[in-house]
Amino acid sequence: MKFSENWLRTWVNPALSSDELGHVLTMAGLEVEGLEAVAPAFNNVVVAEVLEVVKHPNADRLNVCQVNVGEASPLTIVCGATNVAVGVKVPCARIGAVLPGDFKIKQAKVRNVESFGMLCSAVELGLAETSDGLWLLPADAPVGKTLREYLELDDKLFTLKLTPNRSDCSGMAGVAREVAALTGSELKPLDIPAQPVTLSEQLPVNVADAQACPLYCGRMVRGVNAAATTPAWMLRRLERSGLRGINAVVDITNYVMMELGQPMHAFDVAKLTGSIAVRKARKGETLTLLNEQNVTLDEDVLVIADDARTLALAGIMGGQGSGVETTTQDVFLESAFFHPDAIAGRARRFGLATDSSFRFERGVDFAATRRALERATQLLLEICGGQAGEIGEVRGQLPARPAIALRRSRVTRVLGIELDNAQIATLFQRLEFEFSANGDDYRVTPPSFRFDLSIEADLIEELARLHGYDNIPALAPQAALTMLPYSEMLRPLARVQQDMVARDYQEIVSYAFLDAQVERELCGNDAPVALQNPIASNLAVMRSSLIGGLVGALRFNLNRKQTRVRLFETGACFGKKDESYVQSQRLSAIAYGSSTSEQWGATSKAVDFYDVKGDVEALFPPQALRFVAAPHPALHPGRSAQIFCGGKAIGWIGELHPQWQQQYDMPQAAIWFEVELDTVIQAQVPSMSEVPKFLPVRRDLAVLVDEKVEAQSLLDAMTQAAAPFVAEVALFDVYRGKGVEQGKKSLAFRVLLQDTQKTLTDSEIEPSIALLVNAMQQHGAQLRM
């Protein structure tokens, strides 16, 4: 929204400088994007009339002029402009004037003729890029008056960067109303009386879509002179608002739009057939717009039409076939309220951005629709003459403006300051809001020009704006400092992440959503949580495991010639359970390549199941984990296991399935694990135990078992036997081959026995060993001798 400061001050004139006014508007939410002078600085330039022009006696291309500058005697000025003539009025820079570029005017002798000033072009005054000669002023320009005063060149231009919710300030009336409310200055609204009706004729109007156009006003004006000259003051205000003059009728409708914020349109009655219809476009209908653009209309586009053709895109732009020209004698003035939903997006669809669509898309004041038509009629009769008919009005269901409840306690809570009832009432009155009060509770009815007010928070924002954000103190928050409870049973997540980094893994952060195919292949999940509005087709579902992001990051690194990759991630995973959604936090990692970094001191070997198994076990000391062979969709059959802690399944570990290894272009297998994060961060509080002073005793037990018997089952059996003095039982060897029967395997266990008080004797050791052997025999084990 661009406007002239002088125009604004005819409505409201606060005792503020231009810069101060700009600051007030910006701090109230109407950002002043630009503040510029209308004209560059110059002085001592007056309106002058050329009285006499004679050829210079010593130069063919120069003239000696006698110029009236409003003093007792004319000035002699030498001029070389080709358009200088007797009777023209032009700007004259007098002696002592300083023009743009620090060009100073002095008395000079030009080819032996004294010159006492300079007649100026618009270029020399910095008001135009090019010119054909002197700047010819209107014939009624007052001689002797300073040019800056005559043309209001000390004016400044404000450019507001309006937010979409402040469409009420898209006209001078709205900006002035806002300034009056912010500064408390007196508002001088326009006096727009009902115009005399001297014509009984009306043009029939049929609104076929009352929801899209709840209010349509129209008026016939006959006998206008469309070739009349638009007043200089109106052209000046339009140009300073960024609009160019076209003809008197169009200039008037544009002026009313800039003045009241109500877009209008004028039709040439001679080009109309029958009645006016407001309807949706028909399929395949075309229209040539005023900018000569041909558009094919869709069926959801609102148009203005007569009985024969489409005339205009409603609320956007008129058609070329019905526009007003200088030969027009009869016009039909249109002033309507189009619902924002019926206009929004349509202009953009046709590559248009018009002042009209800008306003209708955001919402105009439907209470000012008829008033704007009266104002346009008033100006049209004054400038172009003619006879006005009755206003025809078609009214439907206008937008409701329900009252909004406001609590003073809520105002205090949100703003942090205490506004009493008198202050709140005063602020609402300045905003022209209708309200009723019941103690500290208010019922506020938003005015028709404020489409953005609908909830209590909107009203609180209005109070804050008018009270002034600068007047709201910046108070430091006050809160008691207390120690937060900290459980030794929990490890911070950062500690877990540091442990993973210490084991040579690097952390990644991947998207929480991925391709449904990846979820189906790697997780066996055929019914993942789907996104209603995915950002991309390959990111359409929520992950139920972190493996997809890790495999994607691994492929990214392999494609960039990385030969050793160890990655981990902590994050949320999502799923469905009993028609409800569940979410869990997990830790997952993947290892690929050699088990250690390349070095001279150790032979390189590929990372395997047991390397990563050791990494997992390092996260859970001193808790013992169990690894039970089990199949997983992403893992190699026979090389995958489910991880148990305290009898509860907490995750998976294994080698990536050869099928996925081939599909994802991996030269060798990757090892992956994933565990519930809640179990990782659980910690056991250290407890004191007596330090043994005596050496432990070691016994090795070798047994033969069937191939199908798991070593873990024997370990569990020996643990449950609770043999005295046994400090540790561990598997240290598995043998198949010569000396072992087919279908059998040999398992060797290390047993450490220890007492903190004495050295154990054979008589104390043997019963414990017997208990362990007996526990294994119950699972089909045979002691090897």
Question: Is 27 in a helix, a strand, or coil?
Answer: helix
Cross-strand bridge partners of residue 438: 441
Record the tokens describing residue 641, joined without a space.
């296991």
β-sheet with 45-55: strand ranges across: 75-79, 63-68, 45-55, 89-94, 117-119
Helices 456-467 and 421-430 cross at an angle (nearest 10°) of 90
| CA 687 and chain centroid, separation | 55
Q: CB-based contacts of 705: which residues, under 8 Å, 6+ apart?
A: 714, 744, 745, 747, 779, 780, 781, 782
User: What is the C-alpha separation between 516 and 514, in angstroms, rounded?
Assistant: 6
- Residues 549 and 508: their CA atoms lie apart, in Å, by 9
β-pairing, 276-280 vs 205-207, is parallel
Task: Give strand pairing partners of 703.
Answer: 747, 783
Residue 182: its H or E element? helix 172-183
Q: Which residues are known binding-site members for Mg(2+)?
A: 452, 458, 461-462
DSSP-derived pairing of the beta strands 317-318 and 156-161:
unpaired
Indicate the DSSP class of residue 694.
S
Residue 622 DSSP symbol: T
Write b or e for each residue in 346-360: b if 16 or more Cβ atoms lie within 10 A of its Cβ, otherwise e. bbeebebebbbbbbb
Nearest to 543 by CA among 504, 510, 495, 506: 510
Token digits for 607? Answer: 């990372």
Alpha-carbon distance of 541 to 523, in angstroms, equals 13
Alpha-carbon span 650 to 653, nearest angstrom:
10
Instruction: Kindly report each contact of residues 494-497 with a partner whose C-beta sits within 8 Å and lies 24 or more positions away, as own/partner.
Output: 496/570, 496/587, 496/619, 496/677, 496/680, 496/681, 497/568, 497/570
Give the DSSP letter of residue 142.
P
Q: Find where tokens 């809160």 sit.
A: 479
Asked if residues 570 and 497 have their Cβ atoms less than 8 Å apart, the reply is yes
Cα–Cα separations (whole angstroms), residue 346 to 143, 165, 286, 299, 729: 51, 19, 15, 11, 79
**CA 784, CA 104: separation in Å to the nearest integer?**
119
Tell me the residue type at 547.
Answer: I
CA distance 677 to 235: 72
Helix axes 711-721, 762-777, angle to 10 degrees: 130
Please give the annotated binding residues, written as ranges: 452, 458, 461-462
Burial class (CB in 10 A: 0-12, 13-18, 19+), 661: middle
Rounded-to-integer distance, Cα 453 and Cα 455, Å: 6
How do strand 506-507 and strand 565-577 relate by DSSP bridges? parallel
Whether residue 147 contacts residue 46, with contact meaning beta carbons closer than 8 Å, is answered with yes
Identify any residues that bridge with 267 across adjacent strands, giving them in sequence order: 332
Phi and psi torsions of 757, nearest 5°: -105, -25
Please choose, from the candidates 603, 671, 681, 667, the residue with its C-alpha nearest in 3D space to the C-alpha of residue 639: 671
> Residue 637: is the preceding peptide bond cis (ω within 30°)?
no
- Compute, in degrees rounded to 10, the torsion defined by CA atoms 754, 760, 765, 768: -40
DSSP bridge pairs for 514: 541
